[in-house]
């Protein structure tokens, strides 16, 4: 049995999109995937609208804290998913990079964050199906 795949979600502030993506991955894949998230310029706190939007679907991210993107975090991940951080994400050979273009929830209310949350869920579910499908019973 190989080691479980690891995914790193990166956005600029690690306060909205990457936090929601990491929470969805942990929620949907359970312990089949290792999850990390970070920001190239981390914010002071997780976006309250993102916290509220995730709470509406039963996922609590209120205790999460934005983390700074480190070279080690990228090196230790199999898949690096960037969300609007452009050229600030370090690139290493042999890693798989995905760039998800998503609206930035910063400064927006929960109404604007819900569709972002739902789009992230869809993309995360597709990623799980590809890298860590449910074992056949």
> Which residues are designated catalytic?
11, 85, 89
- Rounded to whole angstroms, the Cα distance separating 44 from 67 reads 9
- Asked if residue 29 lies in contact with residue 19, where contact means CB atoms within 8 angstroms, the answer is no
Reference 23, options 64, 56, 52; nearest CA is 64
Q: Name the 3-class secondary structure at 39.
A: strand
Are the CB atoms for 81 and 64 separated by under 8 Å?
no
Q: Which of 132, 129, 109, 115 has the alpha carbon at shortest distance from 20?
A: 115
Establish how many alpha carbons lie within 13 A of residue 89's alpha carbon, considering only the half-sphere containing its beta carbon.
29
């Amino acid at each position: 049995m190989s080691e479980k795949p690891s995914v790193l979600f990166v956005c600029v502030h690690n306060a909205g999109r990457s936090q929601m993506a990491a929470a969805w991955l942990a929620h949907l894949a359970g312990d089949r995937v290792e999850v990390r998230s970070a920001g190239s310029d981390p914010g002071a706190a997780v976006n309250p609208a993102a916290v509220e939007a995730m709470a509406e679907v039963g996922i609590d991210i209120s205790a999460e804290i934005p983390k700074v993107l480190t070279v080690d975090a990228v090196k230790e991940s199999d898949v690096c998913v960037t969300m609007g951080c452009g050229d600030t994400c370090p690139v290493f050979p042999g890693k798989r990079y995905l760039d998800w273009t998503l609206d930035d929830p910063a400064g927006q209310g929960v109404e604007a964050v819900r569709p972002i949350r739902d789009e992230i869920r869809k993309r995360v579910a597709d990623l799980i199906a590809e890298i860590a499908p449910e074992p056949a019973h």
